[in-house]
Amino acid sequence: MAPQVAIRGQRSLLRQIREALAGGGPAQQRLDMVVRIIALSMVAEVCSIYLRRASGEMELFATEGLDVKAVHVTRMKPGEGLVGEIMRLGRPLNLADAPEHPAFSYRPETGEDPYHAFLGVPLLRGGRAIGVLVVQNRTERTYSEDEVEDLQIIAMVLAEMVASGELVSIGDLEGVELAPRRPERIKGSKFADGLAYGVAVLHEPPVASSQLLSEDVVAEQQRLVSALTALKDQIDQMLEGQHGLVDASYEVLETYRMFAHDRGWNRSLEDAVKNGLTAEAAVERVRSEHRARLGQARDPYLRERLHDLEDLNDRLLRHLSGDGSMARDLPDNAILIARNLGPADLLEYDRHKLRGLLLEEGSSASHAAIVARALDIPCVGRLAGLRDKVSEGDPVIVDAETGEAYLRPRPDVTSAIKARIEVRRQRKAEFAKLRDTPAFTRDGVKITLLMNAGLDVDLESLADTGAEGIGLFRTEFQFMVSEEMPRAGAQTALYARVMDAAGDRPVTFRTLDLGGDKVLPYMEAEREENPALGWRAVRMGLDRPALLRIQIRALINAARGRPLRIMFPLVASCDEFRTARSLVDTEIAWAQRRGKPTPSRLDVGAMIEAPSLIWHLDALLPMTDFVSVGTNDLMQYIFAADRGNPRVADRYDFLSPPMLRAMEAIQRACAETGTPVSVCGEMAGRPLEAFTLVALGFERLSMPPTGVGPVKQMVLSCDREAARRGVSALLKSSAGSVRNEIETLARKLYLAV
């Protein structure tokens, strides 16, 4: 039986609900009991629960005060009535005279004519509304802020109890869309090639319903205060520049601090804990409210603020857990689901159990995508609305061949994907057989296949792939996955491990390529209108020579008398390379004066990514020992198209006459001067694009580990001279892309692509 007297206070109310439900009973009886208890506690004459059906309709599931004959009869179409308005807005609606609101929809079967005051709040899970909780009174009045807060907390707990089956069994709610159930296909973008089938694991799992209510309010308040203080201190330290790399503007971190000190945010958290929620549940309640409120905003500024708030909530949860890691145990076939992900976050998961990665945001050039490719984890990104369309444990398919995700796929789709996965497994076995086979074209030209790396885990792939060395080691990854700037000793240790793993095979170390979109957690970030064109890579190193010299010194120390190859990124002028090389000479002289071992051979090169160098190669190449073409950046600069922006990045093709002519000009200039040249961008790791590079005369290609096998198979089937003739004829084309023509040429030459 439900209590017959109202007991104020949300902790007491939630306890009453739990006690009342402990006796079990039919689903409808349990729901009726809940609305009766809430009405008594809120001193309301009406309390109603509406739940969303799979059709999008809102159905009245229980009421105290309205005509009970309307239960399961009254349904609102999507967006209809005040209930539909709350679902659309994702936030409370507080009205003194509900019938006067333009969205009010009169339903005579409910008998709600006498009621004027109206307060409705959404039942939110992860920012997705699954229902609405309403209280009403006869008198015209506006409910107080405390009453709104009380009802929101009740709604959060009810949402978790309903979704978990604790309030009403899942079987009794058939047809109610507590979580998405229907098969769904979402089109996104391919970030890391491959196929995977498994179960969804949410990077930010919701707090379990059993962990919503605290046992000791005072202790929980102290936990929250301590975590908030630690969070604010952390942000203040970052602003004070204790870990700063650059003397830049504080705009981004000031935004963080503004949110962290925001009275509204703090008060919402404190009130939720005061009313009986755990600190973690309070964070999730506030997070869910922000997602619902800002998630549908079209204004880019507002959506960016949501990202700031998401990050702030994650930081606060970390402080509450007392553990810097958000990762956890995974099932053996985990598909990780996240809005976005940093490289450190991804590396915290067990990569042997992680089958795939699906992201709501990001780009193919993002840090998470690069790490996914290095770990051979299929990844699809830019999946709109993903996080709110999938639940923990849902079966999921990652199709990173077509750039799609299948949520709760039909059996026939699952069977098809498993067959394709088996075909890929057989192909991988074929590539493994070629591991020790030298990569010669059919007409006898040796093509050197190298791999890109940047993490310790990459070193395991060196022997497995048969790569002849590391053509690009991204040294910034060590900085990006650390909580503080790596000291010189840590840098030296990593570089030494890389050289040890490579043995006699060459390793080309690219100096720090930071700035732009690569902002470190301990680095003061400067907001730039055009980050890709801004203060980054070698520009940052030359302006902060101490940082660059420490890295160069670490590389020299790691070499310990072995050959050393150093390459500077984004060189845009001969003066920049000249200055950068002088820093290497300075550090070599420093080591010699102190009797330290110096490299047995030192090669210093430049990455050709800025188009300006194409017209100054005659001056640059004599200064260098080698060059490498970074096709990702070169292409975005040639077409003035941000490669991280899906609206423009996908408009242009590597296999376009302007890009191919630029590559031909670089290769010809290097051949004339005898300068070794390689290609280390994304273009080198795709068989068709690599075929085109071989046709243009390039003989050194560096690629992700997964690209070595397919590209080697292509090389072994290629006649370089026939390819050269065919591709040369396409360079004068006026088409925006000659991909179709090159595919036709490859088929005529019986190429394995």
Which active-site residues does the annotation give? 367, 680
83 contacts 120 by C-beta, under 8 angstroms: yes
Distance of CA 59 to the CA centre of its chain: 36
Q: Which two tokens stand for residue 334?
A: 């985990």
Q: Which residue has the tokens 């790490």?
A: 371
* Angle between helix 545-559 and 488-502 (nearest 10): 40
405 contacts 183 by C-beta, under 8 angstroms: no
The secondary structure of 427-448, three-state, reads HHHHHHHCCCCCCECCCCCECE
177 contacts 54 by C-beta, under 8 angstroms: yes
Residues with Cβ within 8 Å of 470's Cβ and at least 6 positions away in sequence, in order, are 450, 451, 452, 453, 462, 498, 502, 505, 506, 507, 508, 702
Q: Residues 52, 55, 60, CA angle at the centre, nearest 5°?
A: 35
Q: Which two tokens stand for residue 733?
A: 């084309």
Name the E strands within 184-331. Answer: 184-187, 189-192, 195-202
Residue 168 DSSP code: S
Q: What is the DSSP string of 71-100?
A: TTT-EE-TT-HHHHHHHHHTS-EEESSGGG
Give the β-pairing of 470-474 and 507-510.
parallel
Side-chain half-sphere exposure of 383, counting CA atoms within 13 A: 32
A 10 A CB-CB count for 676 gives 15
Pairwise CA distance, residues 318 & 535, whole Å: 31
Residue type, 543: D
Residue 610 DSSP code: S
Residue type, 371: V
Largest CA distance in the chain: 94
Task: List the strands of the sheet with 128-137, edge to edge.
Answer: 75-76, 58-64, 46-52, 128-137, 117-125, 93-95
Residues with Cβ within 8 Å of 444's Cβ and at least 6 positions away in sequence, in order, are none
Residue 735 DSSP code: S
Cα distance from N-terminal residue to C-terminal residue, the chain: 72
Q: Which two tokens stand for residue 606?
A: 């430049």
Pairwise CA distance, residues 107 & 59, whole Å: 13
140 contacts 99 by C-beta, under 8 angstroms: no
Pairwise CA distance, residues 183 & 493, whole Å: 49
Residue 102 DSSP code: T
Name the region of 402 (left: φ>0; alpha: ψ -120 to 50; beta: rest): alpha
Q: Which two tokens stand for residue 472?
A: 């690009």
Pairwise CA distance, residues 469 & 450, whole Å: 5
Residues with Cβ within 8 Å of 626's Cβ and at least 6 positions away in sequence, in order, are 508, 565, 567, 603, 605, 675, 676, 677, 678
Pairwise CA distance, residues 293 & 295, whole Å: 6
Q: Which two tokens stand for residue 225?
A: 């205060």
Pairwise CA distance, residues 28 & 46, whole Å: 17
Among candidate residues 738, 709, 629, 714, the one with its CA nearest the CA of residue 193 = 709
* Angle between helix 145-164 and 10-21 (nearest 10): 30
Q: Which two tokens stand for residue 163?
A: 């979704």
Q: Which two tokens stand for residue 351?
A: 């990569």
